[in-house]
Amino acid sequence: MTSAPVPVLLFLAHSTLVTAGGGSMGGTGMGGPMSMSGPMWMPDQPLTYLRLFAFHPQPIPIFPVIGVLLAVAYLAGVFVLHRRGDDWPKGRIVWWMLGVFTLELMTATGFDGYGMDFFSIHMVQHMVIGMVTPILLMLGAPVTLMLRALPATGGRRSPRHLLLLFLHSRFATVVASPVVTVLLFLFSLYVLYFTPLIDWLMGTWWGHNLMLFHFLAIGCLYFWGILGVDPSPRRGGGIMGAFSRPVLRIAELSATVPFHAFFGIVFMMATTVMVKYYSTTLPWATSTPLSDQQTAGGIAWAFTELPTLLVLGVLFLQWQRSEDRAAKRQARRVAKFGDVDLDAYNASLAALARRDEVSAQHDGTR
């Protein structure tokens, strides 16, 4: 596993601001960011921390609206439970709202505009939406909330029954399998950035938003299975059920770490600009596209560590709680029925002792 302490992240963030410079409006006839088509806001002032974090949604704020809808829908589900007299953990509400906050931060501020101009800012946006936001949202246990809040009336057409059908469907089993999720998670990096696909997507407003949606969807699918907070096809028996064990989930998480780190190292060590869209030298930038690409690679490498540590912490707590629950079940069993295993062990020892005694008496009579 790679190591990227917090000071490295701070240094990379500072380097991004220093080397970036500024932005512009798209559609002026130049290549790269200047040729972006569609209703996309592109900054026209030098990049600073204040402008990067300033509230500035796009003319058509798709993802900010999605974030608001996610927050409202989640709180509506919690309200349904409370009105029914059921409790819902406050920690899960906090996790979900933090996930919505990170989505809004990356799409309703200067990040979305400056990410169209600079590869380093785009990489921050990708890493947060594709890794941090999904982890936080999945820790909010949205599937569990839907199963408890959705109405069960209506028979087979009820929303709850349809959700259960999906969770038990063959499609969900295939999509949620570790092989598929790992491949999709890694292909999102290598196929996108090492082919002309990113140039095609970044050249249009709809392609840019489709790419962000892909990052979010694949990240949620990947961490849905690894975190194991919500019901999923991995909760069943057989091979899929075996992958719900914490040890195998940790192994699944660790399997992607070297590939993700190598992805960042490639951009850090490259001597030429690898993404054509970001190869244009902007008039207001104080850096070259190559140096900005190297910063983007450092950001991708550094982000390998943060989500990994967060997920490992969650898996460790889950394992510890499962051990505590098993110990409590054993204690209740002993209190109710006695220590059956210990009694059986003592009975076996007593039987062996009696057999030895009979054998000794038999030898003495000879």
Give residue-wise pLDDT tens across range 239-254.
Answer: 655 566 667 777 888 8
Count of CB atoms situated within 10 Å of the CB of 96: 24
With a cut of 50, say whether residue 6 has pLDDT above it.
Answer: no
Q: Quick one: residue 4, left, alpha or beta (phi over 0 = left, psi -120 to 50 = alpha)?
A: beta
With a cut of 60, say whether residue 5 has pLDDT above it.
Answer: no
Q: What is the chain's mean pLDDT, rounded?
A: 80
Report, as an integer, the average pLDDT of 272-289.
84
- Is-contact 287 21, C-beta < 8 A? yes
Closest CA to 72 of 95, 94, 46, 100: 100
- Is-contact 129 215, C-beta < 8 A? yes
pLDDT score recorded for residue 237 = 58
Half-sphere exposure of 289 (CA within 13 A, CB side): 17
With a cut of 80, say whether residue 154 has pLDDT above it.
Answer: no
CA 312 to chain centre: 12
pLDDT score recorded for residue 27 = 40
With a cut of 50, say whether residue 227 has pLDDT above it.
Answer: yes
Cα–Cα distance between 272 and 294 in angstroms, integer? 10
Point out the least confidently predicted range of 150-154, 184-188, 245-249.
245-249
Length of the chain: 366
Give kind and range of the element (H or E) at residue 291: helix 289-302
Give residue-wise pLDDT tens across range 70-101.
Answer: 999 999 999 999 999 899 999 999 999 999 99
Cα–Cα distance between 225 and 188 in angstroms, integer? 17
pLDDT score recorded for residue 217 = 95
